[in-house]
Structures are given as structure tokens and as C-alpha cells.
Amino acid sequence: MRSEAELISGDIDSTSQTQGSASRTYRSQTAIKLLIVESSMNRAERHVNTLRNADLVIHPVIIGSEVSLREAQNDPAPDMILCAADKKPIRFNSILNLCLEYFPQSPVIVLYDDQDPEVLLKAMQRGARDVVSAEDPKHLVLVVKREYSDLRARRELQQAVERLRQAEDRYTAIIEHSNDAIAYIHDGMHVMANPAYLKKFGYVDMDELEGQPILDLVAPQDLLRLKGFLRSRDSGNSELELTCQNNQGNNFQANLEFSMVTLDGEHCTQLVIRATPPSIQRTQRLSMFGTRSLDTGLANKLHLLQRLDARIREKDDVGLNCTLLYVLIQDFHQIRAAIGIPSSDQLLKELASILKDNIEEGCFLAQFGNDAFVIQNEGSLQDSTRIADRLMDSINNHLFAIDGDFSEPQCSIGLAHLDEAVTSGLEFINRAFIAAESGRTQNESKYTVFEGAPAKPESRPEVKTTGINSIIQHALDNDEFKLLYQPVVSLQGDNRENYAVLLRMLDKDRQQVLPSDFIDAAIQSSQMLDIDRWVVKRAIMEMADQRKQGRKVSFFISVSHCALESGDFVVWVCDCLRQYKARGAWLTLQIRDRDIHKYTQKSKRFIEDLKKIKCQISIDQYGSVSKNDTLIRNLPVDYIKYAPALISNLSARMEKQQRLSEFNQQAQKNNVKTIAMGVEDASNLALLWTTGVDYIQGYFLQGPSERTSYDFTLL
């Protein structure tokens, strides 16, 4: 019986081919898989033709008996079921029950002739969506359209709910793996906390903490402050610095950040705790992932520069009583070559421990590159020389527990005192570095004091430019550049392996030099185009190699305005893609917002040419120039990357949140994906997700790495 029905349904499918091309296009997009339970094939065919004549595309399967219906229970569920009401109530009830049991998500429409109204009413009470007279085709069309529309709405709702669940799971995973301590408070009680929060307060699992008042985790002297703060705070974001207390009764300083969120349908408070700047408790971990060295756990170069820049801005108010100690490991690259990376990393950790144990209260310690540490001492130069003497004695008397045949590492220390001529943190560090380098070149294990300010750049421009340009040319000639990779991760469920490609230059000691220290000089000396070509070619080589290994990586690569002006850069990119058997679709070239505004016509031609070879385009540092929306309206770009300054401190700045929301609405309107750079912690994550930002990049996920090894399934 069933094979006969399928044969007939195939015949029906081959009829009604007279509709226009527009109707066929509509039908192909909205086909209805219809199961018809009808013993009369002629009546079933009449129903199908009725629906097709109403511009509905129907893929019917006709079943003529209860036996055939039972055989169909394992078939894919239809979109809708038309069930003819048999004159025998018992047989009709049996077939209806089978339809409702086998296909509970498919709406059932009962077709009747002259059945008892009581039978039809009971059919609807049992689950049928509607009853329609078999002799009323117009009513049948209206009901089918309505039920199919409802079905699609229900499916879309189910998909939305599933996407929300997946997003919540991703958000929960991010919180669980965050280095920040995060908890959720409802009516003053803990309802949820991540492992970092539990560890900070000394709890083994959430069962110990759940239901405990937040007041129990605050030292007695700060209870009144916290109570008053909680009573007076509004629904926005706010911060409070307190003395907290773990479950062993030990106190520690912490900065508490409060924000209102919804958890499981309930309004509650999200609490994020970050460690205060290092003090005598030097083993306390830094709260911000982006400001911490992965080798030693100390503050990194970025954190140090930010701190020193702020200190220098305040020197008129705070004074000049500040000294830097630059601790340099002599010939570290030779040591690393002799003992290997694991052992040299252990050496760095031991040296960091020595420094932490021998600096004074109030000193700030940071790792500055692979072979150097910097100590900021808010004291006189005389005080700092005593610290330097103590450090030298401790280092020289320490027996490093490192395997390998090499002499004990020697260190030189450079000291520099703050004065009116210092205008930036980098300049301040450079003075201490010059002093330490002086001790290194003399191969002396002692400290040296900086004795004179370097010449102003204006007085000897040719010396500085010539020096850095010779280093750049040497790097170009000898492949002394290095590519690093930072993941660009989706907040919307896209697990593609996207990486931003970052550039570093190696100096004569094979230490990494940031682009900010050599890009301007390269542009002035017409070397930037060669650097752009080096980066793009090496990135394509790496990308092609990763693809051969089965990895589906895609790279975001920044190019300068020199590439826009060259005229043949896109042709060169095409040749590289062909040479390494790579595809343009794997590549996204990033152009700075300011460069596009300055070189508008050249940028337009550049982008159009890239599109011809299927490359994607991203506007970098988006938001740094006014009237940005004109770019995404008039240029075929695929992504925009928000300037890090827009993301920084986002949770505490309403004007930034409003601006970000406007930018994101403009991007969505123009089908442009958005990327937030500089995401350093979890506090901004919920805002970025609710705003609709598509991707994030920053130290919160992972710092720049030599490998493309990030686990994209984590989010």
C-alpha cells in the first residue's frame, strides 16, 4: 500500500508545472513537506492541487491506511499533516492518535465531510490544530498558510532559544576560565562564583560559599563602608576598594567592581575583584591578564609603561622623588642557546623571586622583555643605590638550580632618577637601560647611574634615523622580523580559526622591538612598503602551511598607506597567493581608519582590486576619525575593528557604551562584522555581547604568541 502511495505522490509532484518563474523561486524557498492521511487518492490529489494553485509549493507523501502510517513512524517528520476524518469514529480516533504520537511537532489539520461535531471537538481537544471541511478549499488554504507560518515561528523561536543557551554556555565557560575573580550576588547572598573567586577567598567549591552573605567576606573595619555603598549605589556600574577577608581570616586589599546583570531570570549583582597593585605581598597575582608576564607572573611592559606615564603626568603634584632600576641579564641569548628554553625560563623565575624578596615596600617590579626587569622606587637616588647593592649581593650569592654547563648569570643594574626633562615612561626606562648597557659593555656585574640626559631628537635627527633605519634594513635583508598571532574569537558561535598577525623586529641582541618603535622611521625612509610585503608574504606562507595540515586558519594582516600608494601591491599579493597555492578568501587585509580617510580614492581602488581576488577587508582602529559611517556605507568592507581606546574602561563610561552601540547598529545595517580589540578582562564582555559585537581580540583571551594554538571551541 505504501509503495503505491509513494508512486502516486511522485505522479502528483510531476503535475502543476505552469507557474511563473517568480512563483517557482518563492516555492523553492518555502516548500511544505505535507503528509496526507487519506484513503482516496483522488481526494488527496485534489487537496494538493488546491494548495499549489494558491502558490504554495507542496512535497506530499500520501498514506492510505493505518498500517502504512505505522510503517512511516521512523520517517522524517513532515511540516504538516492533513488527516481525513473517517466516518467510523474508532478508526478515525486510532489514526489521529498515531499522527499525534509519531509526529508531535507537526500540526494536524482534520478534513471532514459530515462528521458528528462532537467527534471533531474531541479531535481538537486531543491536539488537532483545526478542522476544515473537505469541500471548502479556500478555508483549507487559509488554515494551511496560518499553520505553516506558526510552525516556522515556533522553529525560529526554538532556534533562538538554542542560540541563547549556547551563548550562555559560552559566557559561562569564559567566566569559568577567567583569571578575574567573579561572583553573582542576589539579595546580599552568593549564588554563583567562578574558580578564581573561590580560590581567592579560600573555598574548595561553590557548596561552601553558596548562600553566604557578601558581608562575611569583608574585614570588620570596612563593613559599614560596604553597607553604605550598597544602599546608595544606583543600577549602573560602580567600584569600591575594600579590605577583604578570606575564610582563614587573612586580610587583603581588593577593588570591587559592581554591575547589574540577569542570571536565570533574576536580577542580581555581578561582582568582579581584581588585585591591587603589587605591594609587600609580591606573590599576589595581577588581576589583569593583559598586564602580566606569562613567564614570571610579574607586571609586563605594557603595565609598566602605563604606570610610568601616569606617574610622569603627576610629577608636578607628586614630585620628582622617583628612581628606576633596570636589571639586565648579560648575554642572556647565549645562556638560552646553551641551556634551552625551559631551563632559561626557570632562571627568569628564580631571578624574579630574588628581586621580589629584596626590594622594599612600595617598590613596583615588572619584567621588561626576556632579559630585563625594571623596579620603580618612589624614593631618592641614594635609597635606590642601597637597593641595587643589596640586589647585586643577593644575585651573586645565589646558586641557580639550573642544569647545564654554563657559568652563573651575571647582571648589570642601571639607575635613572626622574627629572623635569623626562616626558614619557619609555624615555625614563631608556635612561636606566643606557646605564645598565654601559655596565654590560664593560662586562661588570655592578650598578651604574645614568649621568646625563640624551640629546633631544631635534638636535641630532640624522643619528637616530640612521641608526634605526640600518637596523630595519638589516632585518629585511636577514629575515630578522618575527610574526606573532593573536586569536580573534567569535561571540556569536562562529568557531572559525581567525588570527590577527602582529609584527616584531629583532634587534642586534635578538630582542623583540615593537612596531611603534620603528614604523615611523620606516615610513620616512621608504622602507615601509618592503616591510608590508615581508609581512604579507610570510603570513601567506604560514597560512598555506597550516591549511595543508587540515587547519582552517584565516589571518587578519595590517598594511600601511604605502601599500595603498604603491599601485601594484594587489598584483603582488595575487602572485603570492598563486605561488603558495593559497586563496584570497583566507586573507583579511586591514587598513587604518585614518589612512582610508587621507587616501580615499586610492583606498577605494585598492579595496576594489582586493575584492577581485576574493580577499576580505577590515577597517582598523575604527572610531578614531569622525564620520566613520560614510566608510562602511560606500566601501565594500567586511569587518571593522574598534579602536582599543573605545573599549578601554567601557563598563564605567556610558558615553563610550552609547558610541559603541551606534557604531554597531551602523555596521549591522551595512552587513559589516565588528571586532573589539583590546579586551583585557571579563568586565566588558557582557556589554560587548549584548551590544551585538561579533568578535573579540585581546589579552583576556590570549596574548600574542608564536603559535596558532588557541582552542576556539572554548567559547
Which pairing describes strands 695-696 and 481-490: parallel, antiparallel, or unpaired?
Answer: antiparallel
pLDDT tens profile 557-592: 999 999 998 888 999 999 999 999 999 999 999 999
Percentage of residues in the chain having pLDDT higher than 90: 29
- pLDDT class of 16 with cuts at 50, 70, 90: very low
Class of residue 329 by CB neighbours under 10 A (exposed 0-12, middle 13-18, buried 19+): buried
CB neighbours of residue 653 within 10 Å? 14
Residue written as grid cell 635606590: 384
Stretch 190-209: mean pLDDT, rounded? 90
Predicted pLDDT at 275 = 53
Tell me: pLDDT of 405 over 60: no
**Cell of residue 244, nine digits:** 577583604
Predicted pLDDT at 632 = 83
H-type alpha helices, 527-653 = 528-548, 561-566, 569-579, 593-598, 600-612, 629-634, 644-647
pLDDT tens profile 657-697: 888 888 888 898 889 999 998 887 777 777 888 888 999 99
Q: Angle between the 569-579 and 528-548 helix axes, to the nearest 10 degrees?
A: 30
Stretch 160-182: mean pLDDT, rounded? 83
Predicted pLDDT at 369 = 80
User: Could you give the count of Cα atoms lying within 13 Å of 1 in the half-sphere of its Cβ?
Assistant: 16
Tell me: pLDDT of 607 over 60: yes
Predicted pLDDT at 290 = 56
DSSP secondary structure code for residue 220 in this structure: G
User: How does the average pLDDT of the chain come out, rounded?
Assistant: 82
pLDDT tens profile 430-461: 899 988 887 766 655 568 888 764 433 333 33
Predicted pLDDT at 33 = 92
Q: Which residue has the higher pLDDT, 280 or 386?
A: 386
Predicted pLDDT at 423 = 85
| Least trusted range by pLDDT, from 372-381, 394-403, 408-417, 590-599 | 394-403
pLDDT tens profile 204-251: 888 889 889 999 899 888 888 888 888 877 656 788 888 899 888 888
Beta strand spans in 205-250 (E)? 238-245
What are the counts of helices (DSSP H) followed by strands (DSSP E) for the chain?
27, 24
**Cell of residue 191, nine digits:** 549564588
Collapsed DSSP state (helix, strand, coil) of residue 268: strand
Predicted pLDDT at 573 = 93
Tell me: pLDDT of 478 over 70: yes
pLDDT tens profile 249-268: 888 888 888 888 887 778 88
pLDDT tens profile 336-381: 877 878 888 888 888 998 999 888 877 899 998 878 999 999 888 8
Tell me: pLDDT of 500 over 50: yes
- For residues 229 and 212, give the distance between their C-alpha atoms in angstroms, rounded to a whole number: 19
